[in-house]
Structure 1
């Protein structure tokens, strides 16, 4: 009986083993991408625990007891997941799969030829964020001055503007939240550089394009700087600033929901006190003095749309006396009264898959220059230049996402400019009007995480030249390896002659073609860029003197600019030190404006080198910042006019090399005090600490026989100030990640 029971049990066990062994089916195959086997791809039966992972050659194999219709799933974070239906019967299965790359905004290659972008939303190494600008020695908190430490930007000290890759300052345009900003720099007189008008703390990011920029922007032969303002402040705050140069005060108010905010800011500056402490090369009859105020509000609707407004008003005066180069005249007296108001309005709203941006800006600028009188004498005389301008810009853009990394956008832009120039010597005003209507379209094409392209076109009609233009733009990027990428950009760019040059002769658009090639390596804490460029200029304006002022007579000018640039930024190699190095080589020739032949531009240097270093010592609550700029000597030219008002080159020469070492120190006495009700930063800044005797150029007499150098206002400039914020802690911004 016992033997019978054991035999029955064994028979049942063997039966079950045989049944189980018959149910085990092997599923195998190979997973590939572009005919290459893929490693670490997960292959599983949906809603089961059966599956495996591919080996180095892309092969997989597993056994299952499942039967009937099943779903085989192939998945990996870098590739799009696919599902294949299969039927499991009594025989083994071989199932192969070809995967497609998973398109991701994070992994996708970024087109960066010709541009440097700084924004928290972007994947690329952030460059020149607001805290970078504030902590760059020698920049004095100005965007334009900080940009002069980047490759491609020339160091210019005698006049305002961004001079990029052999282009004039007028060839760079500025935008705020997509709208054109006219008169980005303050009013000034020849030989003295004015400062930026817009407050750096307004902005959360920027895009600086030194060539090949997007079709969304136009009327700039060289470059564009696109500034993006903050959406809402973090919390309520009251801000004060005090120094021997100026006093500032303002506040920001924001509700808890961050759906609305408003703020007011005012400043007053006067160089009268500091010029008693520092030796200036200029003899001011009226110390530079200015007053400015700005105000803003922001509203967010229930659908997430944001309306932003920013408005400003400023006035400034200056008087300067210098020894005259003309015979029988002892001194030249120049005085300035400037006024400016600027308004910027923008609205952004998403409607389903569409993003709608619309905005407008308005500027009124008045520049009254008296070349002989002091401010006490208000009589109009034979040496007055009075320039008044009204500028309006409106723009609308509609964008639609196609997939995660592809999009299409288009829009229309309208610009109107009216300038009235009164030159007392000519006894008549010059009035110039220009209206530019532009349409543009552009698409971002993401073919894969390794390849992307941008194709666009822009068309413009300008009433001043009574012409249309059509400007195609193209750019692409390819990922060479995990950390190395390459980009190239091409574009045609048009720009009207400046309003001040219009006279009686018909003119046309000025034109430039850009070719940009870049390779870049980006990894944690380090970034390297090598960029080569070529610009071809045609239809540049030529000028002559007519009625005591230069006017354009034709578009027969031309030229080129070519070179290469190297940029290296490193936050990792040296503990707690952030530094960057940039070098630019430029070869350029131009025949334009008053040039009578092709010459290397007087505003450009063949070699430019910048070094910036920053370190924050937490125990000392202090940040140390250093910058050094070198520029090889620029050429200078003495052009004279003949009896017909035509220019000819009289003499030429070369300036000595430019050198400047700058230092700044930021002390945070409240650092580490959690209960501190106010946050304070004490700043000490010294520009050109070694006192190098730099020269920006030469001024010549009317007959070209005498000259004098154009010098900085002070060989060494020292700034001391205190900035206090009540209600907001900016400690982390000031520390800048302990750097």
Structure 2
């Protein structure tokens, strides 16, 4: 009886299985992208468990018992999801599909020709974040000093400015939250380089463009540095810093919702003690002394818009005495008193598909220099140069996203300058006024994840020149293989002659054309860049001496700069060591200002090499940082003027090669102690450890027969300091980022 029942059940089961199998049909086909089969594409019937994945040739096949109208879905994160309606009956069907690439902000190729970006969006290849800057030996926590370890930037020690790809220091402009920063460097005297005014800790990222930059920026023949300030502090904190040369203190207050914050800080610096401990090459009658304070606040509204304000005030003094090169004069005396105030306001908010950026900055700068000579202990030939300037900048930008990787932006900018130069030996003060209005438009075009382009146009009108200009910009990037991208950039750039050169002669804009080709490979922890560039200068000013000062007489100057640059950064290959290497080759000639012929610029070197390495040893609670810089000898020139005020080359030569090995260490005494009341860093820094006798140039007597070298203030500089923060624990930053 049991055998009979089992046989009946088996017969029933076989019958039902036959009905089920007969009800299944096969769905198959091929999936293509650009006429080629694509593997790993998921093909499924929507709202069912039936489906398959394509093979190496793009073919797929699966069986289903579903009937009626359904949706067949083709999906992969790299492609746009496609849905196709199908009708399932009793016969197998074939469904083919062509895919479209999924446009992604993460996967899209980025145009990088001529620029290096450090920001939250570029973490994989971020370069020179604030922590990078603070831990670069020899940079002394300054943005511009750290940038001198990157390709294209010259190591210049005798005057402030960023000298990029054969350009002068005045050809680089600085921006904070999109607004122009006038007088980015402190007031200085000839032969002594001043420091950055803005504190590195203010900023969360930066974009340094050594050429081919966006149409959003203008009035810079060589490069721009765009700094982006932090939105809100991490939490309430108090900062203290102390060393033999300075003391500073400040605090930041932020509410728990991070919608409001304010802070204030102050600092005092005086190197008088160091002049007694270290041999200086300068004879200071007044050791450099400065005082500065700043205030900031930030407000975030309910719509997500952020208003930021930063204001600062600083003063500085310095006095120098040097043996005179002139007959019947024993010493040359120079005294400086400088004052500066800077205010920056910016607002950013999204309105649907639109992003609005508004901002403005104001700078007042006073630079009073007293010059005199001493003969037999009697002061003679007194002269004062008093320069006062008011500078205002305002900018508005409206941007609209077209899709995930395409956008359109446009805006307007206004710059106003009012300067008065009062020279006691001159009959009347020299006054300069200029208003520059600029309009610009730019579009980012993302054709695919592998190809993008940028088109821009900028036009400016200067009231001092009474002329308009028109500057087109173009750049593109193409991913040639996984991890490898190529970029191309071209642009025309205009800049007014320096204010001090304006006279009675009608002048024109100075002009530069940039051509840049780049090959880059980026991966997690590694970055390689190879860049070639050509820069063509036209309409550079030519000067002569009229009365008491040099003035521009025409725009007949020209020149070029071309070169090759290599950059390699590696955080991965050597355990716990982050290092980068940069090399630049430059070929350049200029006939401009007081040059009477085409010459290799005195502020440029043919070969520049920088090596930076960092390692944090957790067991020792210490970070070790070294850097080395080499530049081939720069040329130097001495020009003499004739009775007509025209310049003629009188003497020239080549400086010896520049070498400097720098070292610093950061010791964290309370690292790992959970009950530590403050985050403390002890810093030791030694610039030019080996004491190389570097020379920056030569000063000549009025007749050109005598000279003396321009030397660093000190051959080897030692810094010791302690930095304490109450409120923020940066232990992980210290370990992972070499704080």
Q: TM-score, normalised by structure 2?
A: 0.97
In structure 1, the partner of 2:621 is 621
How far residue 737 of structure 1 moved from its aligned partner, in angstroms, is: 3.7
Distance in 2, matches of 1:633 and 1:408, equals 46
SS of equivalent to 2:572: coil
Please tell me whether residue 655 in structure 1 is matched to residue 655 in structure 2. yes
In structure 1, the partner of 2:464 is 464
Distance change (3 Å), C-alpha of 1:717 and 1:62 = same
- Aligned pairs for 1:90-101 (under 5 A) are 90-101=90-101
- CA shift, 1:738, in A, is 5.7
Residues 478 and 52 of structure 1: CA distance in aligned 2, closer, same or farther (over 3 Å)? same
Shift of 1:426: 1.7
Match of 2:561 in 1: 561
Secondary structure of 1:275 counterpart? helix
Mapped contact 1:606–1:632 kept (Cα < 8 A): yes
The aligned residue for residue 276 of structure 2 is: 276
CA spacing shift, 1:5–1:382, aligned 2, 3 Å? closer
The match for 2:142 is 142
Per-residue CA deviation, residues 587-629 of structure 1 (Å, 9 max, x unaligned), is: 0000000000100000000000000000111111111100000
- Cα–Cα, structure 1 residues 281 and 87, in superposed 2: closer, same or farther, change >3 Å? same
Question: Which position in structure 2 is the counterpart of 1:79?
Answer: 79
Q: Which deviations, in whole Å up to 9, do the C-alpha atoms of 1:685-709 show, x marking residues without a partner?
A: 1000100000000001111111110
SS of the residue corresponding to residue 425 of structure 1 reads coil
Distance 1:734 1:336 in 2: 39
Q: How many residues align?
A: 735
Deviations 1:634-656 (A, max 9, x none): 00000000101010101110000
Q: Please state if 1:691 is matched with 2:691.
A: yes
Q: 1:382 to 1:503 in 2, by over 3 A?
A: farther
Change (3 A) 1:9 1:727: closer
What's the counterpart of residue 257 of structure 1?
A: 257
Deviations 1:496-531 (A, max 9, x none): 001111000000100000011111111121111100
Return the offset for 1:466.
Answer: 0.7
* Residue pairs, 1:592-611, within 5 angstroms: 592-611=592-611
Match of 2:329 in 1: 329
**Do the aligned partners of 2:282 and 2:713 also contact (CA within 8 Å) in 1?**
yes
Q: Aligned partners of 2:395 and 2:187: how far apart in 1?
A: 26
1:446 aligns with 2:462: no
Measure the CA separation in 1 of the matches of 2:566 and 2:515.
Answer: 17
Which residue number corresponds to residue 682 of structure 2?
A: 682
SS in 2 for 1:161: coil
C-alpha spacing 1:16/1:595, structure 2 compared with 1 (3 Å): same
Q: Distance in 2 between matches of 1:708 and 1:406?
A: 57
Aligned to 2:131: 131
Match of 1:214 in 2: 214
Q: How far off its partner does 1:630 sit?
A: 0.2
| C-alpha deviation, 1:6, in angstroms | 9.1
What residue in structure 1 maps to residue 578 of structure 2?
Answer: 578
Deviation string for 1:313-334 (max 9, x for gaps)?
0000100000111111110000
Indicate the residue corresponding to 2:519 in structure 1: 519
8 A contact 1:266–1:292 mirrored in 2: yes
Contact 1:27 1:94 in 2 (8 A): yes
Whole-Å Cα distance in 2 between the matches of residues 623 and 188 of structure 1?
A: 33
Tell me how far 1:261 sits from its aligned partner. Answer: 0.7
CA contact (8 A) 1:534 1:562 kept: yes
Counterpart CA distance in 1 for 2:207 and 2:239 is 27
* Residue 171 of structure 2: aligned partner: 171
SS in 1 for 2:22: helix
CA positional deviation for 1:121: 2.1
For residue 267 of structure 1, what is the aligned residue in structure 2? 267
2:631 aligns with 631
Query: Higher mean Cα deviation, 580-589 or 98-107?
Result: 98-107
Distance 1:498 1:49 in 2: 72
SS at match of 1:611: strand
Distance in 1 of aligned mates of 2:690 and 2:683 = 19
- Whether the 8 Å CA contact 2:329–2:373 is kept in 1: the answer is no
Shift of 1:547: 1.5
Task: Give yes or no for contact 1:576–1:738 (8 Å, CA) kept in 2.
Answer: no
| d(CA) in 1 for partners of 2:537, 2:99 | 47
Q: Larger deviation: 482-491 or 115-124?
A: 115-124
Instruction: Name the CA distance, whole Å, in 2 between partners of 1:182 and 1:14.
Output: 89
- Distance in 2 (CA, whole Å) between partners of 1:515 and 1:559 is 14
CA pair 545-98 structure 1, distance change in 2 beyond 3 A: same
Instruction: Give the secondary structure class of the aligned counterpart of 1:428.
Output: coil
Give the 3-state SS of the residue equivalent to 2:619 in structure 1. helix
- Would the aligned equivalents of 1:41 and 1:53 in 2 still touch at CA under 8 Å? yes
- 1:412 corresponds to 2:412: yes
Matches of 1:128 and 1:80 in 2, distance apart?
36
CA distance in 2, matches of 1:3, 1:293: 100
CA distance in structure 2 between the partners assigned to 1:738 and 1:293 by the alignment: 28
**CA distance in 1 between partners of 2:720 and 2:17 (Å):** 89
Contact 1:117 1:124 in 2 (8 A): no
Contact 2:133 2:143 in 1 (8 A): yes
CA contact (8 A) 2:671 2:731 kept: yes
- The RMSD of aligned alpha carbons is 1.7
SS at match of 1:183: coil
Match of 1:341 in 2: 341
User: What secondary structure, in the 3-state scheme, does the structure 2 residue paired with 1:372 have?
Assistant: strand
Query: Is the 1:617–1:738 contact (alpha carbons within 8 Å) kept by the matching residues of 2?
Result: no
Secondary structure at the aligned position of 2:505 is classed as coil
For residues 435 and 722 of structure 1, what CA distance do their matches in structure 2 show? 45
Q: CA 1:673–1:13 in structure 2 vs 1: closer, same or farther (change >3 Å)?
A: closer
Tell me by how many angstroms 1:548 deviates.
1.4
SS at match of 2:170: helix
For the Cα contact (< 8 Å) 2:124–2:524, is it kept in 1? no
Q: CA deviation at 1:19?
A: 3.0
Once the two structures are TM-superposed, the CA of residue 21 in structure 1 deviates from its matched residue by 3.2
